[in-house]
Amino acid sequence: MTNARDHISLDEQARAVLRGNDRGGYSVPTDGLYPYQWNWDSGFAAWGFAQFDLPRAWSELETLFSGQWPTGMLPHILFHRPDPGYFPGPEVWGTEGLGPVPSSGISQPPVAATFTRLTYEKDRAAGRVHIEALYPKLLAWHRWFMQWRCHEGMIFVTHPWESGRDNTVDWDGPMAAIDPVGIDPYTRRDTAHVDPHMRPTKEDYDRYLYLVQRGRDLGWDDAKMADSMPFKVADPTMTFILLRANRDLLALAAELGEDSAEIEGWINVLEEGAERLRNPASGVFEAIDLKTGAHAGNVTSAAFLCWYAGIECPVMLGELMEAFEASQFPVPSQKVTDPKFDAMRYWRGPTWTMMNAITALGLIDMGHPDAAEELRIRSARLLAERGFAEYFNPHTGDPAGGGTFTWTAAIWLAWAS
């Protein structure tokens, strides 16, 4: 374990990561690999900045919403400034004219309302003007999800990138059903920055690009996408995160004296939908391929967000206890005893500490402080010993992916330290 002096320097290091990835009003997830503004990364960045620079926390959220489409959709990437180091850039997405800033055509897990609320709680006086400005934008974004990405109370994704869990085993079935014919030739850039063994495969990438091309062909039209995208999967990450975000939006509505009936309605719908994600055979919350109706059959880190969404689940508590036994540094993105577990390959095994942070928020809210503390202590040890990497091997703690990562440094400051 670290002593108090180490902590001071670790805090300084974490702040230096946030400062280093600051591009003026917005953060990049990490230099090189991800040179633009990513949606849910910015939520975590705001949470990190809120620990030492409140105005900068607000500007992170406000710059993110500068890219909101008139439909309410908030893109997963904002391409503020051209950068040849990343593929696929704005020209591949073909979204010109659809939003105010060059962007992708899909969204990402809506953590922003939660981090708006947490920032406001640290900045009640000066923060009022910021929540007044952000509230209608958050409301429009959540309304977009409820209108265009909600199937029987479950939020579905039309692209693996939309979920934020690019190559999770949850997508294996639906991705295998896609034949990526007719994709334009392309050159990956990610594998020039990071060891290819830690990244999605070529088969995955072909399908990611195929789906971008399909969305582009549909003009990113919401109704057409809900109808015709070849990938349509109800996702526990999205459903739980939006449910939680609606509860936080409700609190902001109360603070501002806004009418909240619509948000209350969304919460009821999503609470019912979340139960549908539960696989009756295992009791675990799982993705569902809406093309076939099949549960994915995996225990992924997404399922542990149930408490964050305000849902109790003894089965998941049992899974969490098992995860504490099975590896030094849980929660793995795929259960370590599963044959598909792959310790270093992105969302197919590694531990993502930002997922741990929000899992722990939920555990505290739902009356499991000991489990939350265990998760925090192990995550803190991991970060103190191995640095602020993108993700980690749950057994050895080996760091993987991009180094000096914004959301990892942010959760050190806001939660782990």
Q: Measured between alpha carbons, how far is 357 from 174 in angstroms, rounded to an integer? A: 29
Closest approach of ligand 9YW to the CB of residue 198, in Å: 12
Rounded CA gap, 331 and 70, in Å?
Answer: 37
The yes or no reply on residue 29 touching ligand 9YW (CB under 6 A) is yes
* Cβ neighbours of residue 318 closer than 8 Å, sequence gap 6 or more: none
Closer of 204 and 366 to ligand 9YW (Cβ) = 204
- Nearest approach, Cβ of 330 to ligand 9YW (angstroms)? 19
Is 77 or 243 the residue whose CB approaches ligand 9YW more closely?
77
Q: Which residues are designated catalytic? A: 166, 390
Two structure tokens written together for 274: 């979340």
Q: Which is nearer to ligand 9YW, 166 or 235 (CB)?
A: 166
Choices 9-17, 37-45, 148-156, 228-236; region in contact with ligand 9YW by CB under 6 A = 37-45
- If binding is defined by CB under 6 A, does position 162 make contact with ligand 9YW? no
The rounded distance, in Å, linking the Cα atoms of 44 and 356 is 12
Q: How far is the CB of 43 from ligand 9YW (least distance, A)?
A: 10
Site string for ligand 9YW, 299-318 (x = CB under 6 A): --------------------
**Looking at beta carbons only, is 161 or 266 nearer to ligand 9YW?**
161
CB proximity list for 89: less than 8 A, separation 6 or greater: 79, 82, 83
**Prior bond of 350 cis (ω within 30°):** no
Residue 175, phi then psi, degrees to nearest 5: -70, -35
Q: What is the rounded distance in angstroms from the CA atom of residue 375 to the CA atom of residue 46?
A: 22
The tokens for 5 are: 């002096």
Using CB under 6 A as the binding rule, whether residue 34 contacts ligand 9YW is answered as yes
Q: Is 38 one of the binding residues for ligand 9YW (CB under 6 A)?
A: yes
> How far apart are CB 40 and ligand 9YW at their closest, in Å?
6
Among 41, 204, 222, 248, binds ligand 9YW (CB under 6 A): 41
Does residue 164 belong to the site contacting ligand 9YW (CB under 6 A)?
yes
Residue from 40, 44, 49, 391 that binds ligand 9YW (CB under 6 A)? Answer: 40
Residues 172-201 that bind ligand 9YW (CB under 6 A): none
Is the bond into 331 cis (omega within 30 degrees of 0)? yes
What's the distance, CA 361 to chain centroid? Answer: 15
CB-count burial class (<10 Å; 0-12, 13-18, 19+) for 262:
middle
Contacts of 171 (CB under 8 A, 6+ apart): 160, 231, 233, 287
Residues near ligand 9YW (CB under 6 A) are 29, 34, 38, 40-41, 161, 164, 166
